Structure formats: structure tokens, C-alpha cells
Structure 1
Amino acid sequence: MKLIIFLIFVLLTSSQYSFAVIKRHDIPAKNYEVAKPPEYLVDMPHEGHGVLIAPRWIVTVAHTIFYDYTGKTIKVGNKDYEIAKVVIHSGYTKPDESLFKGDSKPLMDFFKKRDDIALIKLSSNVDDITPIKLYEDTNEQGKTITVYGRGATGNGLVGELAETKKLRSMNSFQNIIEESEGNWLSYKFDSPPNALDLEGMHGSGDSGGSSVIIKKNRIYLVGLSSWQSWDGELSLFKGGLYENNAYQVRISSYYKWIHSVIKSN
């Protein structure tokens, strides 16, 4: 889903880029391309992504749910599945319009306090794709993550280019988790030469995209792309610039909630 702050503040500019996610300006865009997206990554009905975590369950960020998707179909792999139920965390709320005016701090505080996570139950099992395992340890800080998405693109110098979002190309980038704070993981979009080879950050349309790490040769879901932070006047916000910070839903913080919902349903 288009990140909420992007709905109001992203500026439209011309684009020479053709690939999703926000990248380094000095690295060829093709280096970020993903020829074959992970099978566990699911495109939501309108925008954003979800992740298959059990044969009948998908996890996503709550703000990708525009309305009750019950009865709607969703494609997992090459097959369509009917959505049997949507469970949105009770701590998820939508911001009042007044928060989008003036200084950014009230809106940033609002984002940090809410629970931006939801689960989708399918009407039948997905038998031909292996669900990704959830990361339950709380030692995420300092780990390198790989993040997937097919949203808008741009680079750290010019920021996000909103009109590129319609291209829907799958890409990935890497970053390092700087803070694991309560329900959130955060990282900074470092500029060269202090950046990783494929340094990047999520953009509009990448919400719910999987953030993964490798532990003992197994892939684990550690986070879900959610929002970018901004310090100062909201009317000046520009997403995807170097030194910006991004926040992801911290899976380890919701590990018990996820399993309790699955068990009770």
C-alpha cells in the first residue's frame, strides 16, 4: 500500500528509472532486480505485499487492508485462493487528518504507537509453496536484512519518484538494522561510501514487503516494510533520500500474537 505519509507529501518529478525500491545513485539499477520473486511473497489485492507464514495464513501490514477482503481472491504463487477471514490487530488505528499538518512529531509519534499488522486466512491450504519461518529471537540489531518490494523507485539523491510506482517491477535491497525498538525495527539509508553494495530503502507500494535474514542456512521473516520517518515540517517531506530512516513491523514482537490468532482460528 502507498505509505500514508506518501499519500499527502510525495512530489511528482520526471523519471529515468525503471525499477522498484529506492537505490544508491551510483549503482546500476539492474543490480537490484529480482528475476524470480520469493514464492512466499504475495501481492495484496490492490497495493503492497503479504507473506505466506503457514499453509493457510498470510501476514501483512494493516494499512494494506483498504476494506474487508473476505471473499476476495488473492494469488499465491500461480494459484488463486479465496480469502476466508481478515484479522487486524486491535492496536491498529488510522490517523486523524489533523496529524498531516505542521510539525511531523505528532504523526511520527502516532505511527510508533500503533500496531500495523494483520493476518489473512485463506479458505484452503497452499500445498505447493513452503511458508517462510518467523524470526522469534530479539537480537535483530546489527543484522543485515534483505528486503523485497515492487513499489516506486528513485535514488538517495533525488528521493522517491512517485510515477514509477505503476511499473510494478520486483527488486530487493539490503540494509542493516540499527535499532530494535519495541514493535519496530529501523534502519538508515546511508550514502556512499558508507553504504552496503546494494543499500536501499522501501518506497511507496512496498508496504508489507518481506524483510528477511539467514540463520543457519535458513531464511526467516524478521520484518515487514511499514513507514518512513521525517523530522520537521510535513509539507517539506520527501521520501527515499539518503540519511532517511525507515521502520518495519518487528515480527519477533508479534510472534505470540500471530500464533494465538492462528491457533484460535
Structure 2
Amino acid sequence: MKAWLLLFLCIFSIASHAVIKRHDVPAENYLLNDAPKYLIDLPHEGHGVLINEQWVVTVAHTIFYDYRGKELKIGLNHYQIENVFIHPEFKKPSKSLLSGDLAPLMSFLKARSDIALIKLSSPVSSVQPVSLYKNTNEAGKVITVFGKGATGDGLKGEVLETKSSKQLNQFQNIVDGAQANWLTFKFDKPPNVLALEGMHGSGDSGGPSIIYRENKPFLVGLSSWQFAYGDISDFKAGLYDTTAYQVRVSSYVNWIMEIMHHE
């Protein structure tokens, strides 16, 4: 495989996520037959979340090209994308960050705002949007995360070849940190972990992280990237002790509301 393709896959694994599982739990325990209706598949890859009858939120790095005019399937119907709004503090990494020591790339990812809004050309009437989590007490709470991308386990890491199956999985974790624009959690080793302890893998950036209050779902985070160190050529996604970074929705509520109210 060409070096440039290996590098692309490596970077994409750092910044695009699905479900990596415990090695000591049957993989089928993580499988779901039905996706939450607010979970939206994007045109190229990754997910968004329906947060309003006419708006979908996602991470900005899932916007691979101009999506205007493309369609999203929501419930049983298709809706055309009218416009896309990328946060002004989002940037793509330069070539110089995509080789050698990972430390500069990690600093770059942490400094940017990886969030975007998609406006639909017509309102959705058949699916209930998920509410935004507006409190700032996320630390210590159990989150449930959904994804359809690559799978694997904490011992071996992500298996990129599994991404094409697009199986729906869920996992859980506990928010370790809630600072500035990011939520973080660690993929801990068994046995003293959650029954569905998990981690992100390639193919499901923008997937929702949910907190339930009285059985009602609230969107608390969006899958974004994994922290890594050392040389980029040695990076392996999804191993135990890896830390995940998710877009902290509570930090962007004002920006979200401003965009929606002015469009």
C-alpha cells in the first residue's frame, strides 16, 4: 500500500470514530437492531444528529465537500440539504502536521472547533429531534454513544476492514473531563469497567453521545478524535488506555442557537 494512503488512513482513524469493544465481552452485546431516529447518516461518511425540525448538527471534519443539494434520509423520508454552516474556528491540518511526531497535531486538534450545522430545505415532521444538553456538569456521567463504522477490541485495536459492514453498535463510557470545548473519556481495561465499555473507531465521526434523564435523551457530545502520541506511523486506533475527545455540546449552545435563529 502506498505511503500516502497509509498516512491518510492513520489520520482518518484519529479523527473519525465508531465502536471498539471489550475483548472479553461477546461482540453481539454491542449490536443494535434499530438506530435512534435522530441519528442521521451523512452523504459521504459519518453522522449527524437531528436537533431541530430543520437542523442537523455534526462535526465539521465530516463535511468533505459541498453538501448543498444532497439528500439525507431521516425516518422514512428524504430531505434536501439547503445549507451548511461550519464553525469559524475550524481548520484543516496542514501537510506538515501529518507526519512525524504527533504532538503538534494533537495541539492543533485540541485548539480547533470541530462542529457544523446542516440546514434542511424543509422541516422534518416524522422524527422527534433530540434535546441539547445545556448544563456544564458532564464530568462523571455515563454516556451512551452510537456508531456504524469500524470495529475491533481494546487488545488489538481497530480493524479498518470492518468499516464497510456499517453495523450499528452502541457503547458506554464515563466522562472523565469536561473542559472548554471538549469532553474526554478513557477506554479502560476490564474487569472494573462498564459492561459495554467502548471506544471510537474509524467511520462514525459526528455520532451522538447521549445522557438520559428520566428516560429522555439529551445530546451531550459528538464523536471527534482520539489522543495519540509518538510517531504518526506507529499510531494504532482503539487500544485500551486511549483517550477520546468529543465536541462538548454545552460549549456551543449559543453558537448553535444564533445560527438557527438568523437563518
Could you tell me the TM-score, scaled by structure 1's length? 0.93
The one-letter code sitting in structure 2 at the alignment partner of 1:118 is A
Residue in structure 1 matched with residue 171 of structure 2 by the alignment: 173
Contact 1:135 1:252 in 2 (8 A): yes
Contact 1:6 1:239 in 2 (8 A): no
Aligned-pair distance for 1:231?
1.7
Secondary structure of 2:258's aligned partner: helix
Residue in structure 2 matched with residue 189 of structure 1 by the alignment: 187
Secondary structure of 2:118's aligned partner: strand
What is the distance in 2 between the residues matched to 1:176 and 1:26?
19
The one-letter code sitting in structure 1 at the alignment partner of 2:105 is L
Aligned residue pair count:
254
Secondary structure of 2:36's aligned partner: coil
Contact 1:40 1:130 in 2 (8 A): yes
2:41 is the counterpart of 1:43: yes
The one-letter code sitting in structure 1 at the alignment partner of 2:10 is F
Residue in structure 1 matched with residue 238 of structure 2 by the alignment: 240
Could you tell me the TM-score, scaled by structure 2's length? 0.94
Residue in structure 2 matched with residue 118 of structure 1 by the alignment: 116
What is the distance in 1 between the residues matched to 2:41 and 2:170?
15
Residue in structure 2 matched with residue 13 of structure 1 by the alignment: none
What is the distance in 2 between the residues matched to 1:33 and 1:208?
19
Residue in structure 2 matched with residue 61 of structure 1 by the alignment: 59
What is the distance in 2 between the residues matched to 1:8 and 1:165?
12
What is the distance in 1 between the residues matched to 2:223 and 2:68?
23
What is the distance in 2 between the residues matched to 1:7 and 1:48?
16
Correspondence for 1:137 among 118, 125, 135: 135
What is the distance in 1 between the residues matched to 2:212 and 2:261?
27
Residue in structure 1 matched with residue 228 of structure 2 by the alignment: 230
2:252 is the counterpart of 1:254: yes
Contact 2:7 2:98 in 1 (8 A): no
What is the distance in 2 between the residues matched to 1:136 and 1:117?
16
Residue in structure 2 matched with residue 148 of structure 1 by the alignment: 146
Contact 1:180 1:186 in 2 (8 A): yes
Residue in structure 2 matched with residue 264 of structure 1 by the alignment: 262
- Listed as ranges, the gaps of 5+ residues in structure 1 are 11-19
Q: Deviations over 1:166-218 (max 9, x none)?
A: 00010000000000121000100001012210000111011000000012332
Correspondence for 1:213 among 199, 211, 214: 211
Aligned-pair distance for 1:70?
0.8
Contact 1:6 1:204 in 2 (8 A): no
Q: Kindly tell me: are residues 203 and 234 of structure 1, through their superposed partners in 2, closer, same or farther at Cα, counting changes over 3 Å?
A: same
Q: Deviations over 1:209-239 (max 9, x none)?
A: 0000012332100000000010212111000
Secondary structure of 1:180's aligned partner: strand
The one-letter code sitting in structure 1 at the alignment partner of 2:216 is R
Give runs of aligned pairs for residues 2-151 of structure 1, distance below 5 A.
Answer: 7-9=8-10, 21-151=19-149
The one-letter code sitting in structure 1 at the alignment partner of 2:193 is A
What is the distance in 2 between the residues matched to 1:6 and 1:188?
24
Contact 1:211 1:224 in 2 (8 A): yes
What is the distance in 2 between the residues matched to 1:105 and 1:194?
30
Q: Percent identity?
A: 58
